[in-house]
Chains A and B, each alone.
Chain A
Amino acid sequence: MKPFDYVRPATVTEAVAAAAQPGAVYLAAGTNLLDLMKGGVSRPDRLVDVAHLDGLDAIETLADGSLRIGALVSNADLAHDAEFARAYPAVAEALLSGASAQLRNAATVGGNLLQRTRCGYFYDTASRCNKREAGSGCDARDGENRSHAVLGWSESCIATHPSDFCVPLVALDAVVEIEGRNGRREIALDALHCLPGNTPERDSALEPGDLIVAVRLPPAARGFATHARYLKVRERTSYAFAVVSAAAALRIENGKIAEARLALGGVAAKPWRARAAEDVLKGVAPTADAFQEAAWRALTDAKPSGDNAFKIELARRIVVRALTLAAAGTPARIPALPASPFASTSGAIHA
């Protein structure tokens, strides 16, 4: 392993200063970074360990009704927070469908947002990858790319963002609080992740030294609690990334959809908010036809990047199902197989 400096700052300000140096990266739980380092994919000079910083592990309701989640809250603690799961059930379900129980116990909110793609060519240092090494080429483009992006990809990169958590978050207009060299700022989660374009090496809008300190769900996000689901098709029941996933949240008033939120996972380099689909659902009854129409709208711009045309059709079907499940109402308990198509199958046994 490449030798590196390890620093453990006492404050956020110290952390930002330490991480602003070239070659520095933040370390929280390390569930992704350490694997990347062991594989030689990431070779940082300096790890700035933020896992012990004070004040970043709280879940708090703000005066305006927003929820503020500290960046160091673990995925498991957040998902199992009963109040949180009641208010944002699709987010809790997404969290519980991600990774494995052990990983969720360690992995943090901030780290989940910033996890790297699972593209095999990104991980394989013998292959060319523009994201790993700018300008080296993309071996995925004509390679084994059945699981790659169908939206927002470019000729330089067809990787997807693997997070489950981010999908309902982006649907609910989550905001990311960032501490940087010039103080605190915030951006919409939807603006955090970058599409590849010609600069796939850039995953996010973060600048050197920027530290995500919290994720905030605005007051309106609570309005969907009774009609919100996350659905994830995957190749095994646990410890597998989504082939395609969707978060659907509806505010239903007088039998009509007052407001819809829809986002897709596993389809692009970022959690994919489907605003056009949301628009067609506004003010209509929650019917199968409306959901079909929304599904078509959501995937209008989709095109295969390789052997993955099926993902477009699968995504449409997942959109329809997720909306159908959301319309049927959030279940009283998170299913034993969270986000699984088999979640409601009787006799399903908890992982």
Chain B
Amino acid sequence: MPELNLTSAPAHLRHGSNIGQPLTRRDGVLKVKGQATYAADNHPPGMLFAVMAVSGISRGRVSSLDVAAAKRHPGVVDVMTPDHKPPLAVDPEIKTNPFVFRMEVLQSNEVRYANQPIAVVIAETLEAATEGAALLAPRYETLPALVGLDAGESFVPPVVGVGNPTEVHRGDVEAGLASAEKQIDATYETPPQYHNAMEPHAIVASWDGDRLQIDMPTQGLMLSLARIAELFGIAHDKIHIRSPFLGGGFGSKGLMAGPPTLGIMAAKLVGRPVKLVLRREQMYGPVGHRAPTRQRLRIGADGEGRLTALDHHARTVSSTFDDFYEPAADASHTLYAAPAIRTSHDAVRVNTGTPLFMRAPGEATGSIALESAIDEMAWACGIDPLAFRLKNYAEVEPISGKPFSSKALRACYEQGAARFGWAKRSLPPRQMRDDAGQLVGWGMGTATFPALMFQAEARAAIRRDGSGVMEIGAHDMGQGAWTALAQIAADAVGLDVDRVEFRAGTSDLPDAGIAGGSAHTATAGAAIHSAGAAVIAKLADLATNDERSPLFGAGNAGVTARDGRLIRRDDESRSESYAEILARAGVAEVEARGTGAPNPAAMEEYAMHAHGAVFAEVKVDPELGQVRVTRMVGAFAAGRIVNPHLVKSQLFGGMIWGLSFALHEEAITDRRSGRIMNANLGEYHIPVNADVPPLDVITVEEHDPHVNALGIKGVGEIGITGSAGAVANAVWHATGVRVRRFPIRIEELLTQS
């Protein structure tokens, strides 16, 4: 692990607590200077380059590979194929737990999707390996590909998402619809989308006997380590993974996938360190994606605009060989107070890499459909969309009847609407124009994401010089873990952030759980908080049990830790520095561990969610159909805000992703071959800076005593939800055209002028 020199700008020296301070990211200077070492920046001596050859078809078999031609190419060292590869300890087709996905690691010459790895060429240079892969000139026996939401027989999967029931209902939906004064029955489609992290999946793997050193971006160090240990039949303590920085993950780097596994196999095959980096187009297959959906919403409302029933059905796809089902309909569980709710899913199998969690899995896809449908119903009832949402405000979680652990959504609506100027919106569509004659539309959406917690452990120490150490194998995907978790650590041990050595990002540190589910700060933060409390307790024991200490006899509960000192609660004039306590005790350091975990009793009692309200303004050219988002305001309530600066950044990113979902992103899949025809960042459109308007984020004060000890709900994913629907609804309000297939395309808006 290279020495990390994290920095704080002087302007951000703390006053009072660390938590809550808008520190700039402490790894920022390293990144700006190009000194942050990402996985592919590592070049151990003797390293070779591995390049995957990937399938040109999406279903069939590889009938031949010209291995000889590849091997003849100067610089090529070896070619790994199904016939020539190191053995694995377990069959990669076996699912040993729900967090294990089947992967393609050359176990056969069957092809299950386009861009599936079919061979790996290992060479002295990247160029030689690349050309070696091209020279393999694979031939195939091709079978007709299964493509799209209507491929083959549909079925009801046993679960969706991670163990969610496929169908959930409360109340009598059909009766609710039958009694409704107004009904909406609308079908929405969302396309396949790919994570497209800036940093491609990469691995540098070195074997030394049965010891394995890995540089690899991962959102789950211990999950990856456990999977590697299982696949290669080695003990956990023989593996060391370094993942100090990720150039984005968004869910695609959470679980061990085939390509990095191939890198480890390649290193084993040739007995030298190997680097394998995916090409951009190779990320459209073996490393997950967001599955397409077709969602039908049937909603009923009474004469007053109160919902009578909400029925949300989602069709999605999984691969032909594994199971992940985008839980899109589950988005309807928590937001609107319908007395009858039913959510259900079905699926077809297609020739695709297995879909996976992608930033707000289920919530993002479900939210744009639900928020569009609510907008349609508000219009059908002749009620302002915000008033309609307030009329159907859920005081308890509709699907479960549980109270919310906290819910400041009403404040989000109020503050967001006020900032946006929502009150001036025309009720009917196509009423507003700007001075250049462009149509103007205002739309809104409600944001929500569950406040999750996983399990984590941390180790804290106070050293003889009075400084602190906090260790946790946490992951900085760009969201700012190096900074936010260090702030929590500093408060946990009563020191300034610059006096705490914060160690993260490697697998030899305590397990921080997975950086996913918007739960990393809450989960790792809780472990850090608990480890800090434990080490301070040990320190207090040393002092309060020592009659030479001014704190003698105060008891553990009688002191508080602040600014590197333990201070008597009942007499602040009596205190002692950490260094003094340790020096007198003759101890080099005290250390303790702490854990973070969900509280099952609280989860049983409360529904736990973050909320928000997003307002968007779009302009649409009335003749040409081009759309431009011109303003967005998001107000979010997500419990305690550890670092407002980084939180805003996360929410901005989410809102931009929502804009992208509504207007840009789509993997264009050839309907015959199943190949993605725009597998590059030139043609797979995400917004450029010029597409992103000034964004305004309000973080609404919210105290949640139930979610976890720190009251943190997480902000990583919620920004997408609500935002996508807000943009789509604004397009309707501008044009009067309700587009139900996303992204919204120019041709859909050319219908009138």
Q: Do A and B bind each other?
A: yes
> For residues 106 through 128 of chain A, which have their beta carbon under 8 Å from a beta carbon of chain B?
118, 120-121, 123-127
Cα distance, A314 to B677, chains bound together (Å): 23
- The interface size bin for chain B is 35 or more
A2 to B127 Cα, complex, angstroms = 8
Number of chain A residues close to chain B: CB under 8 A: 46
Tell whether A6 is near chain B: CB-to-CB under 8 Å: no
In this assembly, does B625 line the interface, its C-beta being within 8 Å of a C-beta of chain A? yes
**In chain A, residues 305-322, which have Cβ atoms closer than 8 Å to a Cβ of chain B?**
310, 313-314, 317-318, 320-321
Listed residue (A126, A142, A233, A321) with the most chain B CB atoms within 10 angstroms of its CB: A126
CB distance from B617 to the nearest CB of A (A): 11
Alpha-carbon distance A144/B678, docked complex (angstroms): 10
Contact of B131 among A2, A125, A234, A239 (CB under 8 A): A2
Bound CA–CA A293/B673 (angstroms): 42
Q: Do A341 and B131 touch across chains, with their CB atoms under 8 A apart?
A: no
| Contact of A346 with B by CB under 8 A | yes
Q: Chain A residue with minimal CB distance to B689?
A: A351
- Tell me the minimal C-beta distance from A120 to chain B in angstroms: 4
Q: Is the CB of A139 within 8 A of B673?
A: yes
Residues from chain A with Cβ under 8 Å of B127 in the complex: 1, 3
Interface centre among A146, A236, A320, A351 (most CB of B within 10 A): A236
B628 cross-chain contacts in A, Cβ below 8 A: 237, 342, 345
Selected contact of B690 from candidates A243, A314, A337, CB within 8 Å = A337
For residue A235, CB closer than 8 A to chain B, the reply is yes
Do A144 and B750 contact each other (CB < 8 Å), given the known contacts A239-B682, A342-B626? no
Contact between chains at B624 and A237 (CB < 8 Å): no
A345 to B434, CA, bound (A): 8
**Quick one: which of B57, B438, B624, B691 has the most chain A CB within 10 A?**
B624
CB distance from B248 to the nearest CB of A (A): 19
Contacts of A121 in B (CB 8 A): 677
- Interface status of A23 (Cβ within 8 A of chain B): no
Q: When the two chains form the complex, which single residue of B619, B669, B675, B679 contacts A345, counting CB atoms closer than 8 Å?
A: B619
Tell me the smallest distance from the CB of A347 to a CB of chain B, in Å.
Answer: 7
A321 and B623 in contact, given A236-B664, A310-B746 (Cβ under 8 angstroms): yes
B95 within 8 A of A: no
Do B134 and A126 touch across chains, with their CB atoms under 8 A apart?
no
**Does B91 touch A at the CB level, under 8 Å?**
no
Q: Which residues of B contact A345 (CB under 8 A)?
A: 434, 436, 438, 619, 628
Contacts of A55 in B (CB 8 A): none
Known: A310-B746, A314-B746. A235 touches B682 (CB 8 A): no
The A126-175 residues at the B interface (CB cut-off 8 A) are: 126-127, 139, 142-144, 146
B753: CB under 8 A from chain A?
yes
Q: Is there contact, CB below 8 Å, between A120 and B668?
A: yes
Within 8 A of B (CB), among A36-93: 39-40
Complex partner residue of A3 from B131, B671, B677, B690, CB under 8 angstroms: B131
| A3-B131, A236-B664, A243-B746 known; A342 vs B683 contact (CB < 8 Å) | no
Contact B675 A1, beta carbon cutoff 8 Å? no
Q: Give the shortest distance, in Å, between B193 (CB) and chain A (any CB).
A: 15
Q: Do A317 and B688 have beta carbons less than 8 Å apart? A: no
B675 engages A321 (CB within 8 Å): no
1/0 per residue, CB under 8 A from A, across B30-74: the answer is 000000000000000000000000001100000000000000001
CB of B687 within 8 Å of the partner chain: yes
Nearest B residue to A234 by beta-carbon distance? Answer: B626
Q: Are A341 and B624 in contact (CB under 8 A)?
A: yes
A-contacting residues, B710-753, CB 8 Å: 745-747, 750, 753
CA distance A125 to B677 in the complex (A): 11
Bound Cα distance from A165 to B680, whole angstroms = 23
Q: A236-B685, A342-B619 are in contact. Are A310 and B664 (CB under 8 A)?
A: no
**Shortest beta-carbon distance from A213 to chain B in Å:** 29
- What 0/1 pattern do residues 672 to 707 of B give for CB contact below 8 A with A? 110101111011010111110110000000000000
**B contact residues around A1 at 8 Å (CB):** 127, 130-131
Does A344 sit at the interface, judged by CB under 8 A? yes
How long is the Cα–Cα vector from A104 to B623 in the complex, in angstroms? 29
Query: Closest Cβ of chain A: how far from B590's Cβ, in Å?
Result: 53
In the assembled complex, A240 has its CB within 8 A of some CB on chain B: yes
Given contacts A341-B621, A347-B630, contact A240 B685 (CB under 8 A): yes
Q: Does B114 contact A (CB under 8 A)?
A: yes
- Structural contact, A238 and B668, CB atoms closer than 8 A: no
Q: Write the nearest CB–CB distance from B429 to chain A, whole angstroms.
A: 19
B570 at the binding interface (Cβ < 8 Å): no
- Check: B670 CB closer than 8 A to any chain A CB: yes
CA distance A341 to B438 in the complex (A): 9
Say whether B547 faces chain A, with CB atoms less than 8 Å apart.
no
B435 at the interface (CB under 8 A from A): yes
A120 CA / B682 CA spacing, docked (Å): 11
The chain A residue with its CB closest to the CB of B660 is A236
Q: Which residues of A contact B753 (CB under 8 A)?
A: 317
B630 touches A40 (CB 8 A): no
Contact A342 B438 (CB under 8 A): yes
Nearest CB on B from A111, distance (A)? 16
Q: Of A126, A234, A337, which contacts B56 at CB under 8 A?
A: A126
Bound Cα distance A3, B125 (Å): 12
Most buried by A among B127, B130, B691, B745: B691
| Cross-chain contact A40 with B747 (CB below 8 angstroms) | no
Query: Among the listed B134, B669, B677, B746, which residue makes an inter-chain contact with A2, where contact means beta carbons less than 8 Å apart?
Result: B134
Minimum C-beta distance from A310 to chain B (A): 4
Residue of B nearest to A341 (CB): B621
Cβ-neighbour of A314 out of B114, B435, B688, B747 (below 8 A): B747
**CB-defined contacts of A351 to chain B, threshold 8 Å:** 688-690
Q: Are B438 and A313 in contact (CB under 8 A)?
A: no
Question: What residues of B have a CB within 8 angstroms of the CB of A146 in the complex?
Answer: 747
Interface string of B452-474 (1 = CB under 8 A from A): 00000000000000000000000
Measured between beta carbons, the chain A residues less than 8 angstroms from B687 are 236
Q: Which residues of B contact A238 (CB under 8 A)?
A: 688-691
Please list the residues of chain B having a beta carbon within 8 angstroms of any beta carbon in chain A.
56-57, 74, 114, 127, 130-131, 134, 281, 434-436, 438, 619, 621, 623-626, 628, 630, 664, 668-673, 675, 677-680, 682-683, 685, 687-691, 693-694, 745-747, 750, 753
The 6 closest A-B pairs by CB, nearest first: A126-B56, A351-B690, A120-B677, A310-B747, A237-B690, A341-B621
Of the A-B pairs whose beta carbons lie under 8 Å apart in the complex, a sample of 11, sorted by A's number, is: A1-B131, A3-B127, A144-B677, A235-B664, A235-B746, A238-B689, A310-B746, A318-B624, A341-B624, A345-B619, A350-B690
| Beyond A126-B56, A235-B746, 17 extra complex contacts between A and B, CB < 8 Å | A1-B127, A1-B130, A40-B134, A120-B678, A124-B675, A124-B679, A143-B671, A233-B624, A233-B626, A236-B690, A237-B628, A243-B746, A310-B746, A314-B750, A317-B750, A345-B438, A345-B619
Report A's interface with B, CB cutoff 8 A: 1-3, 39-40, 100, 118, 120-121, 123-127, 139, 142-144, 146, 233-240, 243, 310, 313-314, 317-318, 320-321, 337, 340-342, 344-347, 349-351
